[in-house]
Amino acid sequence: MTQPLLEAEGLEKHFEVGGGGFFGLTPAVKLRAVDDVSLSIMPGETLGLVGESGCGKSTLGRLLLRLIEPSAGKIRFDGQDITTLGRGAMRAVRRGMQIVFQDPYGALNPRMTVEDIVAEPLVIHGKPSGEATRREVRAMLDRVGLPARAMERFPHEFSGGQRQRIGIARALILKPRLIVCDEAVSALDVSVQAQIVNLLQDLQREMGLTYLFIAHDLSVVRHISDRVAVMYLGRVVEVAAKQAIYGAPLHPYTKGLIAAVPASHPSLRSRGRRVRIAGDIPSAINPPSGCRFHTRCPHVMPVCRERAPALLETAPGHQVACHLTEIPPG
Amino acid sequence: MIEAEDIPERREHRATLRRLLRHRLFVSGLFLFGIVAVVAALAPFITDVDPNRLSMRNKFLAPGGNWVFGTDGFGRSLWSRVVWGAQLSMIIGASVVALNAIFGTLIGAAAGYFRRLDTMLMRVNDALMAFPAILLAIAVTSVLGPSTLNVILALSIVYIPRTARIVRSSVIVLREMEYVQAAVAAGAGHWRILRHHILPNAMAPMIVQLSFLFAYAVLSEATLSFLGVGAVPPTPTWGNIMSEGRDFMREAPWIITIPGIALMVTVMGLNLLGDGLRDVLDPRLRIQQ
Amino acid sequence: MSLLEVQDLTTAFMTGRGEVNAVEDVSFSLNEGEILGIVGESGSGKSVTALSIMGLLPSPPARIAAGQVRFAGQTLTGLSERQMQPIRGPGIGMIFQEPMTSLNPVFSIGDQIMETIRAHERLPQAQLRARAVAMLDKVGIPAAARRLDDYPHQMSGGQRQRVMIAMALACRPRLLIADEPTTALDVTIQAQILDLLMDLRDEFGMAIIIITHNMGVIAETADRVLVMYAGRVIEEAPAARIFDHPRHPYTRGLLECVPSLTEDRARLVAIPGTLPEPARRPAGCRFAPRCAHAEPSCTQAVPALESLEPSHTAACFRARELSR
């Protein structure tokens, strides 16, 4: 069996919210952005990560790259435990894992030329800026579909889709193995979004990339992913191959999420036909006890309020955290 | 196959400079401040009388004739004194701005970027900012003793915390930008991130602040001299000249009026210049104010 | 007679490069109780169209350069701000994309709803309050009477959008314009809000214009659809027809480039190129540079909306031959 390229074990991130105050007298409140998450990504696959706002999917993506430090848990990249690596050792690991951001405007330094932006990772990793680097940047821009003329331009001269191509070029220039796409196509107009999705898929094939594709758009995630993990309020509630997630979801939240996606044709309107998840997403500062979804779950049972269900395998490759699917003990 | 994309036509690059030169307030500010700066720079060439040469025969001469701006109670040429005073104002203003640019940036960037330093640096900052600016400046010069150098030091101590605060707040915003995250993800160190990604983008609000600071420094220096805690008389500073002219306001109003006008022109020029810079470089600030 | 009639509406903005038409020659009409979807991407002019109807564009820099808007028999274009006020509210209500910035943070939501009613009707305080509670209840805010004194920041994004809808409905408008009402919301909340809009239409019989970039929102709500691109209407048809028989290549592209939730596609059919900025729109058919079917003649003139079937129009020179 091949070993996962990236593995998280019991990963947690707590933020202290508020607190401090004058002389630090106000007690801080803990926000559990990511709470006991374990998952793995196999080389060459695309793992989709979906969930609504505040579910912690972006935080998880950044934790996995150690852009923020986890409060607890372990991260293994290519078999190596990187959770506590020092700055120097971590820098070497970073060559292998990169990130593409959502906001095509905030993700590029407005005062740097495209050439400098794309070359920066090379320079950081000790490549002298010169003709060889220029050639490498030019080749990478060509690969993401931008002409060499783009090199001396500044980010503000480009459209949203083109900026996203620049961001992808920067992420790929070090020839990484893993790319975290954090809502990488969410901010784009749909006609441009399709171009970038296609580009990401082409690059994956050509360069053998592994993706963690974080998004809230379930259709796009279905299109690009091999497996999908669903998060709700800091926890992973279901992980499975995409056919299983979309075809036979087990967790009531996954079901509700998919049912909420607008129809693709007026004759398939969902109003009055599909079960709606009622209510709002609770705050992650004081999450509900037990199963965090119990406040909105149509199948809530007394046990759901008391005990959080564990993420258990119900079928090969299909994990669910729900008391309904848990095999009753005894 | 990946389809190549066309990119838009090249856009005008020096747009900032062009927009500044089209900004009416900026241009009038630059003009006013420019006059004072040029006069100050040419002081040795456009004055023929030593600003401190006494000539009791010629005291209290009204402006006109050989004495462009007239003379004061000791028969000193007011033209020489005001022009050399302009030079001193420019030197003090520029020094305070330079010290602020260096130390304000250092402290502000350190506090904004390294969270651990933030609390400590900002408490000291807040304590210094709690004093009214001019009182603190008076206190510092009283301790250090009156001299041009000490005025520069005092005004820097007063204004650096304010500059640091502005730098810090831009750095805090910039630190969270995704391009900074991207640099971290690529393995960049703190120094690189500060130098390439944070400081260049924090420059705009800083430049705006420094142009206003120049005006405050010139004004505060005049106030300190006027109150007798600035550069020691007979050093020709606008504050000193005005202080000496105060007693003869009725008999020789030009002594206090002329340096007053010079001060007004300088401060107004700088403020207009600053407004223009703010509008062009940092339009968000305009809404806030 | 239709409730709303927009005729050859052209809205221009003064920019650094001179006057630019954000919206050009837009015509459509809307009947009582009908839901019209306006779909388009950024720069399509869909929001400007809505704001022009409401007279909410700041002038300068904006100005209605040509055309007419008629609402319930009254011409709105050319009305002064003062004359427009009684129409906003009881006539036309509007909700926006960002429910956070559309509500005033320093007033309770009850005050804001009552203020809206008070602007158009003189009612005693107790009745005002009862009406506000009823409105909040109607839009699905639980324990409405208790939430009346809450401030916007105490509510979630979905609840704020419900409050916005309650405010718009408080004056019982005959037409509600919803500008990207669910774009800022999560998908489960979006479904709730869309359901709510449909319920309210069924109950009050008001007409709704839903402006969106999302074909799914259109499929869920619209009776009729207007597709806009680069400031112009390029196709109009009943919703089912748009999905079954899109006639404009852009509409077809828009439907094809979105991945499906149910079927596998190896590759998305992307529309090449970039959306043109309003100041740099190409000559002739604005879509021609990105169109797979464009011919040299497409860049010569702007295609007019042409009737292809009863109640189905498209602005494409090749619409007839392509759909064969």
> What pLDDT sits at residue A53?
83
Q: What is the DSSP letter of B195?
A: I
CB–CB of C275 and A222 under 8 A?
A: no
Chains linked to B by 3 or more Cβ pairs within 8 Å: A, C
Angstrom distance (rounded) from CA B225 to CA B85? 11
| Closest residue in chain C to residue B5, using alpha carbons only | C273
Output the CA–CA distances (angstroms, integers) from residue B142 to B135, C30, C296, in the order listed.
Answer: 10, 79, 82
Q: Give per-residue burial for C178-203: e unless 16+ CB within 10 Å, then b.
A: bbbbbebbbbbbbbbbbbbbbebbee
Nearest CB partner across the interface for C219, out of A258, A266, A277? A266
3-state SS of B65-128 is CCECCCECCCCCEHHHHHHHHHHHHHHHHHHHHHHHHHHHHHHHHHHHHCHHHHHHHHHHHHHH
**Residue of A216, A258, A264 to mutate for C, most C C-beta atoms under 10 A:** A264
Element (H, E) at C112: helix C109-118
C202 vs A20, residue with greater confidence: C202
Our CA-based measurement puts residue C81 at a distance from the nearest CA of chain A, in whole angstroms, of: 34
Domain ranges, ordered by start, for chain B: 18-45+72-288
Question: Which segment of A264-278, B2-16, B17-31, C84-98 scores lowest on mean pLDDT?
Answer: B2-16
Are C286 and C230 in contact, with CB atoms under 8 Å apart?
A: yes
Does the pLDDT value for residue C172 go beyond 70? Answer: yes
Strands (E), chain C: 4-15, 18-30, 35-39, 62-71, 74-75, 92-95, 175-179, 207-212, 224-229, 232-238, 306-309, 312-314
CB–CB of C272 and B8 under 8 A?
A: no
Give chain B positions within 8 Å (CB) of A153: 7, 10
Are A168 and A180 in contact, with CB atoms under 8 Å apart?
A: no
Q: Please list, in sequence order, all residues whose beta carbon lies within 8 angstroms of the beta carbon of residue B212, skipping any fewer than 6 positions away.
A: B270, B271, B274
Output the CA–CA distances (angstroms, integers) from residue B65 to B61, B68, B70, B72, B73, in the order listed.
Answer: 10, 6, 8, 15, 18
Q: Is B174 left (phi over 0), alpha (psi -120 to 50) or beta?
A: alpha
Does the pLDDT value for residue C8 go beyond 80? Answer: yes
> What is the average pLDDT across A312-322?
93
Nearest CB partner across the interface for B2, out of A111, A144, A158? A144
Task: Check if B184 contacts A (Cβ < 8 Å).
Answer: yes
> What pLDDT sits at residue C220?
94
Nearest CB partner across the interface for B3, out of A65, A108, A145? A145
CA nearest neighbour of A127 among B187, B194, B199, B178: B187
CB–CB of A124 and B186 under 8 A?
A: yes
What SS3 class is residue C199?
helix
When pLDDT is cut at 50, 70 and 90, the band that residue C135 belongs to is confident
The residue with tokens 């104010």 is: B289
> In chain C, helix, strand, coil percent, each to 5?
35, 25, 40
DSSP states of A250-317: -SHHHHHHHHHSPPSSGGG--TTTSPPPPS-PPPSSSPPSSSTTTTT-TT--HHHHHSPPP-EEEETT
Give yes or no for a cis peptide into C105 (omega within 30° of 0): no
Angstrom distance (rounded) from CA B204 to CA B19? 15
Nearest CB partner across the interface for C186, out of A192, A193, A281? A281
Give chain C positions within 8 Å (CB) of B8: 280
Angstrom distance (rounded) from CA A147 to CA A151? 8
Give chain A positions within 8 Å (CB) of C265: 223
Question: Which segment of A263-267, A276-280, A313-317, B15-19 scores lowest on mean pLDDT?
Answer: B15-19
Task: Check if A205 contacts B (Cβ < 8 Å).
Answer: no
C12-26 tens-digit pLDDT: 998 777 888 999 999
B138-169 tens-digit pLDDT: 898 889 888 889 999 999 999 999 999 999 99
Residue B170: both structure tokens together: 């831009």
B42-58 tens-digit pLDDT: 888 888 878 888 777 87
Query: How many percent of chain C have pLDDT more than 70?
Result: 98
Are C181 and C98 in contact, with CB atoms under 8 Å apart?
A: no
A51-82 tens-digit pLDDT: 988 889 999 999 999 999 999 999 999 999 99
Task: Check if A226 contacts C (Cβ < 8 Å).
Answer: no
Residues in chain A: 330
Which residues make beta-bridge pairs with A315?
A: A318
| Closest residue in chain A to residue B176, using alpha carbons only | A106
C4 vs C274, residue with greater confidence: C4
Angstrom distance (rounded) from CA A215 to CA A124? 29
DSSP states of C212-226: ES-HHHHHHH-SEEE
Angstrom distance (rounded) from CA C69 to CA C30? 11
Task: Check if B14 contacts A (Cβ < 8 Å).
Answer: no
| Closest residue in chain B to residue C281, using alpha carbons only | B8
CATH 1.10.3720.10 fits B18-45+72-288, yes or no: yes
C53-103 tens-digit pLDDT: 998 888 778 888 899 999 998 899 888 888 888 888 889 999 888 767 778
What phi and psi, each to the nearest 5 degrees, are found at residue A54? 80, 5
**Residue of B179, B201, B203 to mutate for A, most A C-beta atoms under 10 A:** B179
Does the pLDDT value for residue A10 go beyond 90? Answer: yes
Are A287 and A234 in contact, with CB atoms under 8 Å apart?
A: yes
Give chain C positions within 8 Å (CB) of B5: 272-274
The residue with tokens 């609000």 is: B205
Are B246 and B202 in contact, with CB atoms under 8 Å apart?
A: no
Does the pLDDT value for residue B75 go beyond 50? Answer: yes
Give yes or no for a cis peptide into A27 (omega within 30° of 0): no
> What pLDDT sits at residue B23?
86
Task: Check if A189 contacts B (Cβ < 8 Å).
Answer: no
Task: Check if A261 contacts C (Cβ < 8 Å).
Answer: yes
Helix residue ranges, H only, chain B: 15-22, 24-41, 43-46, 78-99, 105-113, 115-129, 133-144, 148-175, 178-185, 190-192, 199-226, 238-245, 253-281, 283-288
Chains linked to A by 3 or more Cβ pairs within 8 Å: B, C
Nearest CB partner across the interface for B3, out of C272, C274, C280? C272
CA nearest neighbour of C169 among C96, C89, C100: C89
> What is the average pLDDT across C133-150?
87
Give chain B positions within 8 Å (CB) of C272: 3, 5
Does the pLDDT value for residue C224 go beyond 80? Answer: yes
Task: Check if B44 contacts A (Cβ < 8 Å).
Answer: no
Output the CA–CA distances (angstroms, integers) from residue B204 to A150, B24, B199, B274, C154, in the order listed.
Answer: 25, 19, 10, 11, 36
Angstrom distance (rounded) from CA C90 to CA C170? 8
What SS3 class is residue B274?
helix
Element (H, E) at A58: helix A57-64
Our CA-based measurement puts residue A266 at a distance from the nearest CA of chain C, in whole angstroms, of: 4
**Residue of B2, B6, B9, B280 to mutate for C, most C C-beta atoms under 10 A:** B6
- Give the count of Cβ contacts less than 8 A between chain B and C: 7
Residue C56 burial (10 A CB sphere; 0-12, 13-18, 19+):
middle
CB–CB of C280 and B8 under 8 A?
A: yes
Q: Is this structure's pTM higher than 0.95? A: no
Are A201 and A251 in contact, with CB atoms under 8 Å apart?
A: no
CB–CB of C274 and B5 under 8 A?
A: yes
What is the strand order of the sheet A6-17 is part of? A29-41, A6-17, A72-77, A80-81
How do beta strands A318-320 and C4-15 pair?
Answer: unpaired
> What is the average pLDDT across B65-82?
81
Our CA-based measurement puts residue B182 at a distance from the nearest CA of chain A, in whole angstroms, of: 7
> What pLDDT sits at residue B20?
84
Query: What mean pLDDT is reported for chain A?
Result: 90
Are C200 and C231 in contact, with CB atoms under 8 Å apart?
A: no
Task: Check if B12 contacts C (Cβ < 8 Å).
Answer: no
Are A104 and A187 in contact, with CB atoms under 8 Å apart?
A: yes
Our CA-based measurement puts residue A84 at a distance from the nearest CA of chain B, in whole angstroms, of: 15
Task: Check if B186 contacts A (Cβ < 8 Å).
Answer: yes
Nearest CB partner across the interface for C216, out of A261, A271, A280? A261
CB–CB of B5 and C280 under 8 A?
A: no
Q: What is the DSSP letter of C266?
A: S
Angstrom distance (rounded) from CA C193 to CA C97? 12
Q: Please list, in sequence order, all residues whose beta carbon lies within 8 angstroms of the beta carbon of residue A154, skipping any fewer than 6 positions away.
A: A110, A111, A112, A113, A114
Task: Check if A102 contacts B (Cβ < 8 Å).
Answer: yes
Output the CA–CA distances (angstroms, integers) from residue B55 to A45, B67, B71, B77, C210, in the order listed.
Answer: 92, 12, 9, 9, 86
Q: What is the DSSP letter of B42?
A: T
Angstrom distance (rounded) from CA A264 to CA A262? 7
CA nearest neighbour of A152 among A110, A113, A108: A113
CB–CB of A278 and C194 under 8 A?
A: no
CB–CB of B186 and A170 under 8 A?
A: yes
CB–CB of B181 and A67 under 8 A?
A: yes
When pLDDT is cut at 50, 70 and 90, the band that residue A1 belongs to is low
| Closest residue in chain C to residue A186, using alpha carbons only | C183
When pLDDT is cut at 50, 70 and 90, the band that residue C170 belongs to is confident
Are B112 and B193 in contact, with CB atoms under 8 Å apart?
A: no
Q: Which long-range contacts (CB under 8 A, 24 or more apart) does A203-207 make?
A: A203/A143, A203/A144, A203/A168, A203/A172, A203/B2, A204/A44, A204/A46, A206/A143, A207/A172, A207/A175
Q: What is the DSSP letter of C85?
A: T
Angstrom distance (rounded) from CA B108 to CA B166? 7
Q: Please list, in sequence order, all residues whose beta carbon lies within 8 angstroms of the beta carbon of residue B173, skipping any fewer than 6 positions away.
A: none
Which residues make beta-bridge pairs with C93?
A: C176
How do beta strands C62-71 and C4-15 pair?
Answer: antiparallel
